[in-house]
Amino acid sequence: MAIIHNTTLSPTKQELLAAWLPAQPWYAGHGSAPDLAKAGGFRLDDPEGEVGMELMVSTDASGPEPITYFTPLTYRGAPLPGADHALVGTLEHGVLGKRWVYDGTHDPVLVAQLFALLTGQAEAHAQSENDTLDPTVRAQLAEAAHGAVPGPEAVVQSADASDILIRSTRPLILRVRRVLTKGDEPAAPALGHVSATWTEQPSGQRVRGVVVTVHEPSA
């Protein structure tokens, strides 16, 4: 399992996201700078132990109604070749030094592990605790869709970087839900999905919503 260090980050993750979010095509803000707070999330583990992966849920309280975003992030000790367009920014980690932070939909390590989560070959890890799994993250995939493994080759397909094409024996689309709403099941038919929990604002209640769905390429 990845080691989570109790240390300083400069800038913080929320500061990094607040600068990056307004330029994204799926940003749903109201014209003011985002006022972000961590609402939840989980981690995936890199089998090679090189890439940190955090699938973060953040709530923007800058507008009249809170908006909750889901942002899969990867943390690397060196730039990811060919991924300058997906760079969220860099930060200084108090233990590990400079880290390059990427939109995880463009990072093949995260995409592979996200698909492994759907097929039961990987498990979700707690966002802020070492050596701890997160049983609140639920993943399911129709048996017929399992033919897409092993070794998916990922290509971000949609203009808003939400659809990831898995090229393998059976092509599939992983659709990342960038703006979250609560609800246990996908709003439209899907071959599978991942759901997670977060703290809703301003109620402070823990709610569940779908963060990723799986579809045929034509869907």
Say which range, 142-156, 190-204, 205-219, has the weakest mean pLDDT: 142-156
Mean pLDDT, all residues of the chain = 86
What's the pLDDT at 171?
82
Peptide bond into 202 cis (omega under 30): yes
What's the pLDDT at 184?
77
Mean pLDDT over 62-82 rounds to 93
d(CA 14, CA 56): 10
Q: Which residues pair with 201 in a beta bridge?
A: none
What's the pLDDT at 150?
44
> Which tens digit of pLDDT belongs to each residue from 123-132?
999 987 878 8
DSSP 3: P
What's the pLDDT at 129?
80
Q: Name which residue leads in pLDDT, 169 or 122.
A: 122
Of 5-19, 120-134, 168-182, 194-208, which one has max mean pLDDT? 194-208
Query: 58 and 69 in contact (C-beta within 8 Å)?
Result: yes
Secondary structure class of 42 (helix, strand, coil): strand
How open is the CA angle 132-17-177, to the nearest 5 degrees? 70
Pair of tokens at residue 97? 């030094």
What's the pLDDT at 32?
76
Domain positions in the chain are 9-215
Has residue 189 got a pLDDT over 50?
Answer: yes
User: In 10 A of CB 133, how many CB atoms?
Assistant: 15
Q: Name which residue leads in pLDDT, 187 or 34.
A: 34
What's the pLDDT at 110?
94
Has residue 50 got a pLDDT over 50?
Answer: yes
d(CA 172, CA 72): 19
Has residue 155 got a pLDDT over 80?
Answer: no
Mean pLDDT over 201-212 rounds to 93
Would you place residue 42 in the very low, low, confident or very high pLDDT band (cuts 50, 70, 90)? very high
Strand runs labelled E in 144-200: 153-156, 163-167, 172-176, 192-199
d(CA 196, CA 191): 17
Has residue 147 got a pLDDT over 80?
Answer: no
